[in-house]
Amino acid sequence: MINTSENQVDAHLNTPDESQYDVNAALFMIGSLAFDPDNAFKDIGLLMEEYGHNISPEVRRQINLRLRQMVISIVETLSKEAHVHRYRDISRIQESLQEQRAKAEIYKRRIQLLAPSTQQEFEASLMWVAEKGKEEDLDLLHQVRKSPPYQADNISALFDLAEQKILVRLHDPQQEMQTAFGLTEAEVALCLLGVGREPVSYQAQQTAEMLKQIKQSWEEQFQPDALKEWFRKPVPLFGGKTPQEAVIEGRAEEVWHILIRLGEGIPY
Amino acid sequence: MILFVDDEPREMSSYVEELRFSGYEVAYESDVDSALKFFAANLDNLDLVILDIMMPPGEALKNRDTEFGLRTGIYMYREFRVQSPDLPVIILTNVSDVQVARFFHQEAKCIFLPKEDVLPYELAEQVAAVLV
């Protein structure tokens, strides 16, 4: 299951001499947090059947939820540890930890949506899916809606809103981003991937979301065509780098915040 | 004292624990009605409010257009502001809508933080910066 013992954490994250710190080993260890409880349950289930026991679906769900929550807690603890000790390459470590935390959060929310403990938990999960849900969550929503665990007017409305919001988010293909920012396909890919990111990484997805927000913010405040020019113009707050270069460095959110301030008349 | 308002106490427990570990007194309220009551009764003792946005509207806000709870915190924020215009507020939310973010960015004494980007120790650092 989780290959993260206290000794391993000490060995990789608590090394007193920073120069000895092995970033790749830490990243490998963090990657091991991405375990699959369902596979673990198969092993546990087979073991218990041998002894004449079964794990009920309810107990299984509770354990699954707790394991997800445990991953989030481990990530939060490791992140603080890395931050406090100012480890080398901390941004790569933090990015990797954030990715695991985000994955655990998504799985946890999906479990809660399928089998919530309370109506409040169910509503909270529907709200979360409305804001963060992705294409694959549409199928999940349809499945849950066929036989919802709770029924109320506001729940029906939340189902509608969640579906609408996910569909709106899906309607913004990469082609549109190329046109808006005046970028080639390769340049869009570089913005999303930066240096050394995996295409499906949390960071790449976050950057894609932020680029959509930058585009939307710009179009609400300025002439859409001028975005291409601004995106390549050096900005003092980025040390003379352009917004495009800042995005490639993984600072898309900072670009968005500066754009919002610019729209409010605050110069940079 | 910090008033922390969020309808998911289990998810927020690590944030609350981190703040308490950092030495802050934290009052946690998990629904709109109890949070508004607590706010009114303890206004003079509050140094900061940490507020979620997506919450069931409760009795107090059931007639407001909260988008079935998706934007409840905006109305709560306005209620707080009416009673205490200068009290610092940190919005800690899963909402990523650009309009909502912009609204809070434009507010004085208000910080907008996406939950997914902020770990418990980072929230404690933000609180320390606000309460200097």
Give the CATH number, domain containing residue B6.
Answer: 3.40.50.2300
Secondary structure class of B50 (helix, strand, coil)? strand
pLDDT digits (tens, 9 = 90+) for B33-53: 999 999 999 999 999 999 999
- Contact assignment for A132 to B70 by CB distance below 8 Å: no
- Contact assignment for B69 to A216 by CB distance below 8 Å: no
User: Domains in chain A: how many in total?
Assistant: 3
Interface A-B: count of C-beta contacts within 8 A: 71
pLDDT at B29 over 90: yes
Which chain A residues contact residue B70 at CB under 8 A? 127, 130-131, 158, 161
Q: Which of B56, B116, B117 sits opposite A123 (nearest CB)?
A: B56
* B55 in Cβ contact with B94 (< 8 Å): no
Tell how strand B26-29 and strand B89-93 pair up: unpaired
C-alpha distances (whole Å) from A80 to each of A71, A85, B91, B109, B120 are: 14, 9, 21, 27, 8
A127 and A205 co-located in one domain:
no
A61 and A136 co-located in one domain:
no
- Contact assignment for B54 to A128 by CB distance below 8 Å: yes
Per-residue pLDDT of chain A (268 residues; tens, 9 = 90+): 334 444 444 444 444 444 445 666 666 666 666 655 556 555 555 555 555 556 677 777 777 777 777 778 888 887 787 777 766 666 777 777 777 788 888 888 888 888 888 899 899 999 999 988 888 888 889 889 988 999 998 899 999 999 888 887 776 556 667 777 877 766 776 777 665 555 556 677 778 888 888 988 888 888 888 898 899 889 888 888 899 988 888 888 889 888 888 877 776 6
Q: What is the extent of the structural domain holding B99?
A: 2-127
- What is the predicted pLDDT for the residue at A126? 94
Task: Enter the pTM of the model.
Answer: 0.67
User: Domains in chain B: how many in total?
Assistant: 1
Whole-angstrom distance, CA of residue A126 vs CA of residue A144: 10
Q: What is the extent of the structural domain holding A46?
A: 1-113
Which chain A residues contact residue B19 at CB under 8 A? none
Question: Quick check: is B132 in a domain?
Answer: no
A203 and A256 co-located in one domain:
yes
A143 and A246 co-located in one domain:
no
